[in-house]
């Protein structure tokens, strides 16, 4: 019985496609997600690991109003669902706030270990589309409006290893 349990755990561990060497810690001091937290692995219908390749413009201060800001990602790995292409557009709610503190009574469930958004960082994202139907009733800042492609709503955003 005990041997079977150990074997099951070993198999489960080996079965993770994205399991790798122990990753370095993030600037926030927490290890980036390598296997996916329960939230990132279950929320939304699309789960990817992606590099944040572009943030056009500057985030307005949050004292003005709540808003959703669209950022451009390059998909490295897909864990669940099927993204539309390897470059995707993702809307984050009030991106000046750490994801762990971004949820409010209007946003629905959002969160994650991402503390701030910097080009070049790798995130593991739980996403849902279309953005317009998922996001709260607030302003949308999409500097890529002339670029075609599905806009995704970021439900969960964890730091991740490349």
Query: Under rule CB under 8 A, which residues in 59-78 are in contact with another protein?
Result: 63-67
Of 34 and 55, the one with the shorter C-beta distance to another protein is: 55
| 138 lies in the site for another protein, by CB under 8 A | yes
- Cβ proximity to another protein: between 75 and 138 the closer is 138
Q: Is residue 10 at the binding interface for another protein, with CB under 8 A as the rule? A: no
Sites for another protein among residues 93-112 (CB under 8 A) = 106
Is 131 in a helix, a strand, or coil? helix
27 binds another protein (CB under 8 A): no
For another protein, give the closer residue by CB, 31 or 108.
108
Give the integer Cα–Cα distance in Å for 4 and 21: 25
**For the chain, how long is the longest CA-to-CA vector?**
60
Cα–Cα distance for residue pair 6/132, rounded to 1 Å: 46
Phi, psi dihedrals of residue 152, rounded to the nearest 5°? -105, 150
């Amino acid at each position: 019985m005990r041997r079977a349990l150990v074997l099951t755990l070993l198999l489960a561990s080996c079965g993770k496609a994205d399991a790798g060497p122990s990753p370095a810690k993030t600037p926030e001091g927490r290890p980036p997600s390598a296997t996916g937290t329960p939230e990132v692995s279950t929320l939304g219908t699309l789960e990817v690991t992606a590099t944040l390749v572009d943030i056009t413009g500057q985030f307005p201060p949050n004292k003005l109003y709540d808003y959703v800001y669209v950022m451009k990602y390059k998909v490295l790995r897909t864990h669940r669902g099927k993204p539309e292409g390897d470059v995707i557009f993702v809307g984050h709610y009030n991106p000046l706030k750490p994801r762990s503190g971004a949820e409010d009574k209007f946003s629905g469930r959002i969160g994650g270990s991402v503390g701030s958004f910097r080009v070049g960082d790798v995130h593991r994202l739980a996403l849902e589309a279309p953005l317009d139907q998922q996001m709260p009733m607030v302003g949308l800042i999409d500097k890529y409006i002339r670029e075609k492609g599905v806009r995704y709503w970021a439900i969960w955003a964890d730091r991740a290893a490349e």
